Structure 1
Amino acid sequence: MTHIYTVTGMSCNGCRAHVEKMLNSIPEVTHATVDLEKAEATIEMDRHIPLSALQKVLKEDGGGYQIHKHGDKPVEKPEKNEKPKGVGTGVYYCPMHCEGDKTYNKPGDCPVCGMDLVEEVSSWDEDSGTDKNHQKLLNKFWMAVGFTLPIFIIAMSEMIPNNPLYKILDINYWNWIQFVLSIPVVFYATWMFFERAYKSIKTWHLNMFTLIGIGAGVAWIFSVVGLFFPDVFPEQFKTETGTVHVYFEAATVILTLVLLGQVLESRAHNKTNTAVKELLKLAPNKAIRVIDGKEEEVAIEAIKIGDFLRVKPGEKIPVDGKIVNGETSIDEAMITGEPIPVTKIKDDPVHSGTINGKQSFLMEAERIGSDTLLAQIVKMVNNASRSKAPIQKLADKISGYFVPIVILISVITFVIWKIFGPEPSYVYALVNAIAVLIIACPCALGLATPMSVMVGVGKGAKSGILIKNAEALEQLNKINTLIIDKTGTITEGKPSVEKVEAANDEFDTNKVLQYIASINRCSEHPLADATVAYGKSKGINALEVKGFLSVTGKGVTGTINEDQVALGNHNLMESENVTVPETLQNHISEYQKHGKTVPILAVNGKAVGFVVISDKIKDSSKKAIAALQAKGIEIIMLTGDNKDTAKAVADALGLKDFKAEVLPEEKLKEVEALQKQGKIVAMAGDGINDAPALAKSDVGIAMGTGTDVAIESAVITLVKGDLQGIVKAHNLSEKVMTNIKQNLFFALFYNSVGVPIAAGVLFPLFGILLSPMIAALAMSFSSVSVITNALRLKNAKID
């Protein structure tokens, strides 16, 4: 029998696979498949399984997944501290990326490593869960410092000759004071570390908290037992006064230093979202809506698609849309990284959060809420910062072997010091074994990749490069072949006038342009729009046209100042009995060989001039292609345009490889063919026809000026929409990967050097030992080094 159920709580393909695996683990289930888009599970079973049994399996996992009768959705009551609807994202993830893209629908600890789950940055809530988590950790840290500092002073006073504290109270009382002061540190401020250690051992997902929990826990329990039951210890564990030497200061200082590392990590995690938070601050919360000529101030949430909005000088644009009345200049640096304001006229697009110049205009709302470009930037950055780069698997694999090896080394250290160490050998054995556990903490190793990725993604967003996942960032560094579309990618993607020429002295260039622009005002053809716009830019005054007629596939005719005017191709010239002189025809043919469109202007039966129309190559294309070729990347242009046009563009850009008249499925096949040759292929395009190839390529790069389908199919989007963005993205990829490798070196270097020293290999020759406190400080320093190195990416030059 087969049943279909509704599944909630899934947010990515990783969730889908996880739920599917859990359902298939049920003995009575023959086969289960889960559809993420439909939020459905199709389950084949030998016999009927109660819904409660399925719910129990998912609930025990702790991932927040729920299963219901098909079509039903749960009505959940808000938890005590849950945010109201519309505030925050309500999506949490592990900052250590233990399960890749997996997310949770409520706060808590990661079931793998135990780290506090972090809430995604919200477009509606600047006071994000990340900030609150950081403040919570900071409060605990200062509390831990307040109790740990006096413990440390009491312990270190033993190094002072004629210890003044012992004149006030005996050492035994001071030990009891240390015990009391340590309780808030251990059981409140840093208790989460022991919970995580227990969970890691229980699930056998050994991690840095395993070492911290065992090391600090052993030191604290040893001290408590020594304080309460001193007589159970041999003499070598006792001081001259008969009290057992306690390590409350080692345990609390270690835990406080680890907590400091957590605070620094949390602070760094906040900083990686700075670019997004700065964008969020630019989004206004109110707008002026115009209804029947009357203006009213409304909240952003009240705006609907199709509403007309008034944007006044200096104001932030509330939503995405287009100008319907007026013109202005807009500062779009927040999405393009370019400081120069962009001139906008009627029908030009405008984006939420960008800043209006000195003129007022009326706009029509086209995208609101989560559909705006600003909201998409936030979503992309959040998704990318949660994703795990393939190189992270190396760090994960190292950690998987590293922790049990360190525990084994710690045990061996204890045994060797007990057998061969000086008296009190038990004390030396215990202290050095704890030091090994502490200094080997692999937190820096776990931070190495995600820190660099998160900072790199933030840097990209600020530079107009939107990266959907970390894998794309790594793959981009490896590409050796780049396929680029022509129209809209290399070129502007719209027709523009290249030049106007006169055939004789009777009509000069300006008069030719005036006649062309005038008659084309009556035409709806895209090429006509290009000539009209060109005429306006040259200050040409349009003339009245009578008897206008559009001849499909040929051109237009009409009367201007009693002159019979015809504008079009050779077929129109023939039908109007216009003879084109051979010299003029040769001149026109040269332009046509280069893929240009050349309408001919005839007045009273004579050819008097022509206009050259082309899809202009973007100014940045040639420079960008040269830069990519210098990196050793093979560039291939694929276009659906004709061969003459394709060759002309390829020649202008110095491209040897190009294919013309290519259909969408042929672009896809070209990508597949190159991949079969072992090439790592990136594809850059902007249209619906590019979408299949973008999705199939190793790295799909969409122009932000293109279609939504292309953008959704790609893993990298260039907001500004030119090839120079690919150069920036590739440079960013190189710097991020270099940074990750540096971080892995820092992490492994500290551990490789620190563990043997903590074990005491230098003691026989130099008498050098590392106390657990110094080991904790060194461990924290390795994390700080990784964080600091990753944050350098914020200032990296990628132009």
Structure 2
Amino acid sequence: MIHTYSITGMTCDGCRSKVEKALNAIDGVQAIVTLQPPVATITMEKHIPEVRLQEALTAVGKYTIEMNNGKITEQAATSEASAKSCCSMHSGDHKNETGIPKNAQGKFYCPMHCEGDKVYDNAGDCPVCGMDLVKAPELTLSKTLYTCPMHPEVISETPGSCPICGMDLVAMEPSESEDQKTYKDLVKKMKIAVLFTVPIFVIAMIEMAHNNPLLGLMDAAKWNWVQLILSLPVVFYACWIFFVRAWKSIITWNLNMFTLIGIGTGVAFLFSLVGMFFPDIFPSEFKTDHGTVLLYFEATTVILTLVLLGQLLEARAHSQTSSAIKELLKLAPTEATLVIDGGDKVISIHDIKEGDLLRVKPGDKIPVDGKITDGESSIDEAMITGEPIPVDKKKDDNVIAGTINGNKSFVMIAEKVGSETLLSQIVQMVSDASRSRAPIQKLADSIAKYFVPIVVIISIITFLVWAKFGPEPALVYGFINAIAVLIIACPCALGLATPMSVMVGVGKGAQSGVLIKNAEALEHMNKVNVLITDKTGTITEGKPSVEKIYAANNNEVDLLQAIASLNQYSEHPLAQAVVNYAKGKSISLIGVNDFEAVTGKGVTGTVTGKKVALGNKKLMEHVQAKISDDLENEISAEQKLGKTVSYIAVDGIGTGFVTITDAIKTSSKDAIKELMRQGVEVIMITGDNINTAKAVADELGLSSYKAGFLPEDKLNEIKRLQAEGKIVAMAGDGINDAPALAQANIGIAMGTGTDVAIESAKITLVKGDLQGIVKAKNLSHAVMRNIKQNLFFAFFYNVLGVPIAAGVLYPFFGILLSPMIAALAMSFSSVSVIVNALRLRSLKL
């Protein structure tokens, strides 16, 4: 059974996430919570009293829940400013607007997300899985400092000359990053491990020869002492960290890969020590022909060295998975040219203030978001939108931080600086999404929870079975195979399968202009089978222009002045088109009284004492205006040509109309065709009239469209489709699209649209183009395929490797797996998962 409940008390996405998590924690409940409108859609296996749901919410905050009576609660109208203030004022439970804790920048976290969003101040290993913590990238560029090459004590925040010797100051090199330090430390330990392990391995291998030449130099007992001495730097320095992690995992009972490695190699090393110092306590089957006990110093050191090699390769690969964020950060310049007092001054990008005039020279990177005030140029925006063709820009056009100027110079005004720029928001969103968890990860988590205890039990059983039924020396066979079982198992391959693919995939999307809010959206996008798309600004350019004004009384000038004056108070693109048209005709705007914007219908107000209404047919019905048959016929003829027509009524009488055209984006038709080829049903829903909608649908080859829909109608249509079991994506760009974007399984906002629409969506297309939806769909498919490959490999590896290590092939083929080979396989299993995820970087969207 499915019920819909209204939620009160939610004011940001952090609240929504907390409420959804609390509801899903109840047995038999599957809940989807949206912020706009604030509702919870709950699927129950059996009826659960409302009081039980309320108890769950009360435990996590001041939230209330009640059965939805079919109306949208007042909270759905919560302004964007309110939502933002909540997110910025609460410092405890809430995250920032993109979901990642603000204190995560530059901190350390577990790549397997064992503790969710928990971060650490210093490098180390995860207390749950034992893996090396990874440093979250700094999401803002640090200030560039300058110094004198002759006098390093001179440090300046701005370029210039040295006050001591007059030489030009040079930029200081950035300090070595933490991940580089970790990698170099592992390289150093690897060199030491190899240096001491190779001689041990050679000694052990030569001892297996029929005529051991080493016995001519010393007897076997002394060579055992050599192996012990050589193993000490490997065990107690280069690879000691593995035993520390194993011990932590046992005392905290967070069993992981290092538990198995520590037990396996630790038992082998301790066995060898006891064998050296107390050989008489061992039965003869553990001894060689020379009377010494079979020792395993070479197995211990080789296994540990191979595990260290795996950690080294993994650290190198981890640094590449976050390369997208690093590349995005490189887009921002460190300096800008400030126009002040008639001259130019080079300043740090951190010193730019809103309203500053900046000169952008040919080939320079644009420092912040703003608008051109003087000059024109062509801008390479490929690094933001993924489109390789430069875009021509002129006065009053917007420019984006990080994009590259062409061969002309211009002056711009800074409008968004620091974290407010689009580039900063993209970096923040990518960082947040790359650390989020996909639903498919729950499968791996469930298995990993029981993985290590099961492997330990299998290892014990292996020893007992070999000791009881194996050939002589049965105890030796049992001991070796038990260690091999411990060593070959790799729970980390399971844990890394999903997050690595998500991290690389999200970064790849950002480089192509597709911003994904979280891993859940990335996974669900692959399942979408219905796309609902708005018309204006989504399918069309969103740059409407007035084609003509029709006045029944032939007084077009007065009518244009009235509706333009009315529209000066509206932010709707159609309204702006009318105002611009009037200005182009040199018609002055006059004051308006009683202005009112009627959502989804139009605007009304009093102009020069007359009540003027401008909008669609529903507005005319709302104000009870009388429309003549002749005027209705004129309007119908325009609509059938695909034009958008707004009725004009003065004092309750229809007196004319304004025809507005909005060109269809050249890419819309190809994008819709491709989505339909992939099995996605595309439905255009618009507030425009049926004639205009049909004309646009016919041109695009759409069989499904809905006309005359208000915002609540879009919302209800999505709910209806979801009730039919459809996975719905909604693409829109306006404030009126926000509730529908929040309700859809996947909300897709056009980056050219409003902030509130982008805030409500789970995917944002920077370019505001339907081709971006095709890219998002292809990216989701590729990432999910990559995750499944990783999970299959991890499952297959362990399911196959553990039995082989236990010796199941020995009775049939005489095949046994050396612990050293098992260590090699284990070390490369995690690396192979990461390398497979890195293949997504070469994906062509």
TM-score, length-scaled by structure 1: 0.77
1:275 aligned onto 2:324: yes
5 Å-filtered alignment, 1:217-256, equals 217-256=266-305
Deviations 1:147-191 (A, max 9, x none): 222222222222344333333333323322322232232233222
The residue number in structure 1 matching 2:668 is: 621
Deviation at 1:266, TM superposition (A): 2.1
The residue number in structure 1 matching 2:456 is: 407
Aligned match of 1:319 in 351, 364, 368?
368
Aligned match of 1:91 in 107, 110, 115?
107
3-state secondary structure, aligned to 1:110: coil
3-state secondary structure, aligned to 2:785: helix
Output the CA distance in 2 between the equivalents of 1:32 and 1:180: 62
Whether contact under 8 Å (2:325, 2:431) holds in the other structure is no
Change (3 A) 1:338 1:617: same
3-state secondary structure, aligned to 2:137: coil
3-state secondary structure, aligned to 2:536: helix
5 Å-filtered alignment, 1:304-315, equals 304-315=353-364
Output the CA distance in 2 between the equivalents of 1:746 and 1:752: 10
Deviation at 1:589, TM superposition (A): 5.6
The residue number in structure 2 matching 1:577 is: none
Deviation at 1:354, TM superposition (A): 1.1
Change (3 A) 1:591 1:32: closer
Whether contact under 8 Å (1:388, 1:469) holds in the other structure is yes
Whether contact under 8 Å (1:597, 1:613) holds in the other structure is yes
1:765 aligned onto 2:797: no
Whether contact under 8 Å (1:114, 1:195) holds in the other structure is no
Whether contact under 8 Å (2:104, 2:119) holds in the other structure is no
Amino acid corresponding to residue 753 of structure 2 in structure 1:
G
1:164 aligned onto 2:213: yes
**RMSD of aligned alpha carbons:** 4.0
Aligned match of 1:216 in 240, 249, 265?
265
The residue number in structure 2 matching 1:475 is: 524
Output the CA distance in 1 between the equivalents of 2:494 and 2:644: 60
Amino acid corresponding to residue 405 of structure 1 in structure 2:
I
The residue number in structure 1 matching 2:733 is: 686
Whether contact under 8 Å (1:419, 1:425) holds in the other structure is yes
Whether contact under 8 Å (1:683, 1:701) holds in the other structure is yes
The residue number in structure 2 matching 1:366 is: 415
The residue number in structure 1 matching 2:133 is: 117
1:463 aligned onto 2:479: no
3-state secondary structure, aligned to 2:780: helix
3-state secondary structure, aligned to 2:543: strand
Deviations 1:606-625 (A, max 9, x none): xxxx9964121111111111
Whether contact under 8 Å (1:385, 1:454) holds in the other structure is yes
Deviation at 1:456, TM superposition (A): 1.3
Output the CA distance in 1 between the equivalents of 2:715 and 2:756: 15
Deviation at 1:412, TM superposition (A): 0.9
Output the CA distance in 2 between the equivalents of 1:719 and 1:647: 28
Whether contact under 8 Å (1:179, 1:248) holds in the other structure is yes
Output the CA distance in 2 between the equivalents of 1:691 and 1:136: 50
Output the CA distance in 1 between the equivalents of 2:545 and 2:116: 47
1:701 aligned onto 2:717: no
The residue number in structure 2 matching 1:392 is: 441
The residue number in structure 2 matching 1:40 is: none
3-state secondary structure, aligned to 1:241: coil
Whether contact under 8 Å (1:17, 1:34) holds in the other structure is no
The residue number in structure 1 matching 2:239 is: 190
1:375 aligned onto 2:375: no
Structure 1 range deviating more: 648-657 or 340-349: 648-657
1:633 aligned onto 2:680: yes
Change (3 A) 1:340 1:221: same
3-state secondary structure, aligned to 1:109: coil
Deviation at 1:327, TM superposition (A): 0.8
Whether contact under 8 Å (1:594, 1:647) holds in the other structure is no
Change (3 A) 1:722 1:737: same
Deviation at 1:252, TM superposition (A): 1.7
Whether contact under 8 Å (1:121, 1:378) holds in the other structure is no
Deviation at 1:588, TM superposition (A): 8.0
Deviation at 1:106, TM superposition (A): 4.4
Change (3 A) 1:292 1:597: farther
The residue number in structure 2 matching 1:738 is: 785
Long gaps (5+) in structure 1: 1-9, 22-29, 38-69, 74-85, 502-515, 536-541, 555-567, 570-581, 601-609
Output the CA distance in 2 between the equivalents of 1:91 and 1:15: 27
Deviations 1:512-557 (A, max 9, x none): xxxx9xxx9xx9897798699999xxxxxx9xx8897889999xxx
The residue number in structure 2 matching 1:780 is: 827
1:200 aligned onto 2:249: yes
3-state secondary structure, aligned to 1:792: helix
Change (3 A) 1:707 1:135: farther
Output the CA distance in 2 between the equivalents of 1:172 and 1:547: 106
The residue number in structure 2 matching 1:139 is: 188
Deviation at 1:373, TM superposition (A): 1.7
5 Å-filtered alignment, 1:200-599, equals 200-496=249-545, 590-596=637-643
Deviation at 1:358, TM superposition (A): 0.6
Deviation at 1:791, TM superposition (A): 1.9
Poorly superposed stretches of 4+, deviation over 4 Å: 10-18, 30-37, 70-73, 125-128, 497-501, 523-535, 545-554, 582-589, 597-600
Output the CA distance in 1 between the equivalents of 2:586 and 2:839: 67
Change (3 A) 1:639 1:418: same
Change (3 A) 1:704 1:133: farther
3-state secondary structure, aligned to 1:684: strand
Output the CA distance in 1 between the equivalents of 2:117 and 2:700: 40
Whether contact under 8 Å (1:595, 1:642) holds in the other structure is no
Long gaps (5+) in structure 2: 1-13, 26-55, 64-88, 93-101, 143-173, 551-559, 593-602, 605-613, 616-628, 648-656
Whether contact under 8 Å (1:496, 1:616) holds in the other structure is no
Aligned match of 1:749 in 775, 789, 796?
796
Amino acid corresponding to residue 194 of structure 1 in structure 2:
F
Number of residue pairs aligned between Structure 1 and Structure 2: 680
Change (3 A) 1:528 1:747: closer
Deviation at 1:338, TM superposition (A): 1.4
Change (3 A) 1:587 1:167: farther
Whether contact under 8 Å (1:288, 1:311) holds in the other structure is yes
Output the CA distance in 1 between the equivalents of 2:91 and 2:751: 38
The residue number in structure 2 matching 1:180 is: 229
Whether contact under 8 Å (1:118, 1:133) holds in the other structure is no
Structure 1 range deviating more: 249-258 or 718-727: 249-258
Change (3 A) 1:549 1:779: closer
Deviations 1:349-392 (A, max 9, x none): 21221111111111111222222222222211211121111111
Whether contact under 8 Å (1:88, 1:128) holds in the other structure is no
Amino acid corresponding to residue 187 of structure 2 in structure 1:
L
5 Å-filtered alignment, 1:55-66, equals none
Deviation at 1:447, TM superposition (A): 2.1
Amino acid corresponding to residue 128 of structure 2 in structure 1:
V
Whether contact under 8 Å (2:272, 2:297) holds in the other structure is yes
1:728 aligned onto 2:775: yes
The residue number in structure 2 matching 1:559 is: none
Change (3 A) 1:71 1:260: closer
Change (3 A) 1:260 1:290: same
Change (3 A) 1:399 1:285: same
3-state secondary structure, aligned to 2:684: strand
Deviation at 1:684, TM superposition (A): 1.4
Output the CA distance in 2 between the equivalents of 1:479 and 1:599: 35
The residue number in structure 2 matching 1:507 is: none
Output the CA distance in 2 between the equivalents of 1:36 and 1:283: 41
Output the CA distance in 2 between the equivalents of 1:585 and 1:551: 29
Structure 1 range deviating more: 151-160 or 102-111: 102-111
